[in-house]
C-alpha cells in the first residue's frame, strides 16, 4: 500500500504499451547525426582499433555508408577528413580537391537533400602540429589568424555542397567570421552549427586515433574548462549573437547539466556529441559481457535527449535507428 487509497504510480508501468503511451522522452532516428571518417588514399575501408565498428572510409565506401544511413532514417552526417599530408596552416582543409571537400561533394551527389550533410570545420586534422588553428611564433594558437583560415575553409565546404558547417575549433569570434564570409560570398542558406561548449575532455582519445592526430600537448587554452558552467553559457550566448543556427555541447554524458542549462538559455536547436570515449567505453564493456550493449546504447541516448539535446551526434546513429525502427 502507498498510504493513499487508490494511488498506484506503477499502474502506468504495468505493460509495454502503457509505458510507450506515457513516455516523456522519445528518440527518433531523424534527430541523430552519424560522424563519418574518410581517409585519403584508401581503396578499402579499415576499422579504427579503439572504435569497434567505426571505419576510416575510402571515398567509395563513404558513399555507401551515407546511403545506408539515409535508408535507416538518420537525420544527418558529419564528415571528417584524414589527409595523407599536413602542413603548418592546414592547407588541405581549404584545397577544393582535398579529402574532406571531395568527400562532401561525393556524399551530396549520393544523397542530395535526403539527409543533412555537414562538414567538420576545424584545422586540427590538417595541421602538422595537430592544433585547431594557426600557430604564432611563440607556439600559441593565433586566434585572429585562425579566423581567416576558418572563413576560407567555410567557403570551400559551402562550395562543395555542405548543408551545415560544424565549427569545432573553439576560437573566439569563429561564428561571426564564418557567417560573414558565407553571406558575402553568396551562401546565406548554409547553416552554422557552433561547437559552443566544447570541453577539454579526456574522452576524445579514440577520435584522435580515427583522424591520426599529430597533436603534441593539449588544447586547454582554447577548449572549455570542465569545471565551468556559467562560462560555457557565455560562450553559447556569444555564438548565438554572432549568428549560430544551432549550438553544440561536447561531450554529452559528462555534461548533461550543461546541455540542460543551454537548452533553458537559448531558442535555437541544441545539439550534443556523444563522443568517441563514451562510445568506446560501452563497446568495450559489452564485448566483455559486462553490459547489454543495445540497452545501454538507447539508455544513454535517451538521457541526452531528456537533458534537452534535440540533435545527437553519435557513432551509434545507424545501429540505434535500426533498433528504434524495429520497435516502432
132 lies in some domain: yes
Q: What is d(CA 167, CA 152) in angstroms, rounded to the nearest whole number?
A: 13
Say how many Å lie between the first and final Cα of the chain, rounded: 35
> What does the pLDDT look like over 71-86, one tens digit per residue?
999 999 999 999 999 9
243 lies in some domain: yes
Q: What is d(CA 294, CA 256) in angstroms, rounded to the nearest whole number?
A: 21
Contact 275, 252 (CB under 8 A): yes
pLDDT at 183: 98
Q: For residue 223, which phi and psi values (nearest 5 degrees)?
A: -80, 160
Contact 107, 77 (CB under 8 A): yes
10 lies in some domain: no
As for how many domains the chain has, the answer is 1
Question: Band of the pLDDT at 9, cuts 50, 70, 90?
Answer: confident
7 lies in some domain: no
pLDDT at 3: 63
CATH number, domain of 176, equals 3.20.20.70
Spell out the residues 6+ positions from residue 5 whose beta carbon is closer than 8 angstroms to its own. none
Catalytic site positions: 198, 250
9 lies in some domain: no
> What does the pLDDT look like over 181-237, one tens digit per residue?
999 999 999 999 999 999 999 999 998 889 888 877 788 888 899 999 999 999 999
pLDDT at 220: 82
60 lies in some domain: yes
Is pLDDT of 8 > 90?
no
> What does the pLDDT look like over 101-123, one tens digit per residue?
999 999 999 999 999 999 999 99
Is pLDDT of 2 > 60?
no
Beta strands in 140-261 (DSSP E): 164-167, 191-198, 246-250
What is the domain range of residue 124? Answer: 26-327
Is pLDDT of 1 > 60?
no
Is the whole model's pTM more than 0.75, yes or no? yes
Q: Which three three-digit cell numbers place residue 311? A: 540533435
> What does the pLDDT look like over 291-325, one tens digit per residue?
999 999 999 999 999 999 999 999 999 999 999 99
Question: Band of the pLDDT at 98, cuts 50, 70, 90?
Answer: very high
pLDDT at 184: 98
2 lies in some domain: no
In the chain, pLDDT over 90 holds for what percent of residues? 85
1 lies in some domain: no
Amino acid at each position: 500500500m502507498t498510504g493513499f487509497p487508490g494511488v498506484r504510480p506503477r499502474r502506468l508501468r504495468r505493460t509495454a504499451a502503457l509505458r510507450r503511451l506515457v513516455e516523456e522522452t522519445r528518440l527518433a532516428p531523424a534527430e541523430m547525426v552519424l560522424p563519418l571518417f574518410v581517409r585519403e588514399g584508401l581503396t578499402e575501408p579499415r576499422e579504427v582499433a579503439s572504435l569497434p565498428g567505426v571505419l576510416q572510409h575510402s571515398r567509395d565506401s563513404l558513399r555507401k555508408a551515407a546511403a545506408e544511413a539515409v535508408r535507416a532514417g538518420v537525420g544527418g552526417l558529419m564528415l571528417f577528413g584524414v589527409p595523407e599530408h599536413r602542413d603548418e596552416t592546414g592547407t588541405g582543409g581549404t584545397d577544393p580537391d582535398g579529402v574532406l571537400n571531395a568527400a562532401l561533394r561525393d556524399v551530396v551527389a549520393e544523397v542530395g537533400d535526403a539527409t543533412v550533410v555537414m562538414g567538420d570545420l576545424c584545422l586540427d586534422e590538417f595541421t602538422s602540429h595537430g592544433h585547431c588553428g594557426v600557430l604564432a611564433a611563440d607556439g600559441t594558437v593565433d586566434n585572429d589568424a585562425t579566423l581567416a583560415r576558418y572563413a576560407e575553409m567555410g567557403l570551400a565546404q559551402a562550395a562543395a555542397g555542405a548543408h551545415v558547417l560544424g565549427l569545432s575549433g573553439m576560437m573566439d569570434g569563429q561564428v561571426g567570421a564564418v557567417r560573414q564570409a558565407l553571406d558575402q560570398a553568396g551562401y546565406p542558406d548554409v547553416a552554422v552549427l557552433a561547437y559552443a561548449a566544447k570541453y577539454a575532455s579526456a574522452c576524445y582519445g579514440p577520435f584522435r586515433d580515427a583522424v591520426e592526430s599529430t597533436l603534441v600537448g593539449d588544447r586547454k587554452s582554447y577548449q572549455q574548462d570542465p569545471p565551468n558552467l556559467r562560462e560555457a553559457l557565455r560562450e553559447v550566448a556569444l555564438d548565438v549573437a554572432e549568428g549560430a543556427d544551432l549550438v553544440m555541447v561536447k561531450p554529452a554524458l559528462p555534461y548533461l547539466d550543461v546541455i540542460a542549462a543551454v537548452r533553458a538559455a537559448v531558442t535555437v536547436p541544441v545539439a550534443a556529441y556523444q563522443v568517441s570515449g563514451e562510445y568506446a567505453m560501452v563497446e568495450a564493456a559489452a564485448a566483455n559481457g559486462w553490459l547489454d550493449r543495445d540497452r545501454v546504447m538507447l539508455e544513454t541516448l535517451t538521457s541526452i535527449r531528456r537533458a534537452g539535446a534535440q540533435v545527437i551526434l553519435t557513432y551509434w546513429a545507424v545501429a540505434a535507428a535500426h533498433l528504434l525502427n524495429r520497435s516502432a
